[in-house]
Structure 1
C-alpha cells in the first residue's frame, strides 16, 4: 500500500473529493483543474494504490469513506476499547463472515482490499479454501453491484465535477 504525503496532489484531490460529498468521480472532470490528463491519471493511480479510491470502470472511480463501517456485532468483544487497523478488522470479519458485514467492509475499504485480505488468510491457512472460494464469488457480485449502482448515479448530483 502506498503512503501519501500531505500537500501532494493526490491528497489535495482526495480532500476536495471528500469535501464535495461525491460518491464517484470521472477522471475527465478533474483534467484542467488539477493539471493535464497525465498528472491527474498519476494522482488517481496513487490514490488507488493507497486504497483511498476504487476503480469502477475506465475513467470512473468510487471514493471510499474515511470511517470504519458499522458492523452487525463486535467481533473483538474481548478487547472492546481496542482499535484495529483496517486489515485486522477485515480479517476478523472474514473469520466469521456475514454478507451484510462483508458488503459494509467493501463499501468502506474497497472490494480489492477485502479480496487481498481474504487471499492472505487463505494462504496462511486461517480460512479454508472452500470458504475463500465462496467469498471470492460473493465479492465479485458485490463489486458488480457497486459498479451498477455507480453507473446509475445522476451525473450532476453524486459525481464530482470540475
Structure 2
C-alpha cells in the first residue's frame, strides 16, 4: 500500500488510554494495533480522511484508541473532539456520513489514512473539503528542484 500498513478489524480486548485530564478512557482496540501506534502527548493520532475513489483530501480529525476501534468495527468514522472532549461520529448530526473503505497506518506509525465514501460535505462549513477556502499558494512547480529557483 505504498508506505502504509493496513489495519485489520480488532478482536475486542481492553487497552486503557489516558485523556488530557489524566482519567483513563478504556478501549477495545486490538492490543497488537494499539502497540503499533505512535500517539501525541494527549494520546491522539491524526486521521486524514480521503475520498476513496478520487483521492480528494477531505479533512483531518483526531482519533484515540477507542475512536479507531469504533471506526474499524462500525464502518463509520469516529473522531475524538479535542474541544468538547468527547467522541463524535461523522454525519450523526449533519447527515454527511463517512463510510469507511480502508484504514492504513503510515510508515512512521503516527498518522492514519482513512479512505472513505463521503456523503455530502466533509467540512463543518458545508464545503466538500476542509481545504478549499484558504489556499496559501498555487503553482506547485515554483521552487521545485530543477525549476531554477
- Same fold by TM-score, threshold 0.5 exceeded? no
- Larger RCO of the pair (alpha carbons < 8 Å, separation 6+): 1
Task: Give TM-score, length-normalised by structure 2.
Answer: 0.26
Structure (1 or 2) with the greater strand fraction = 2
Task: Give TM-score, length-normalised by structure 1.
Answer: 0.24
Structure (1 or 2) with the greater helix fraction = 1
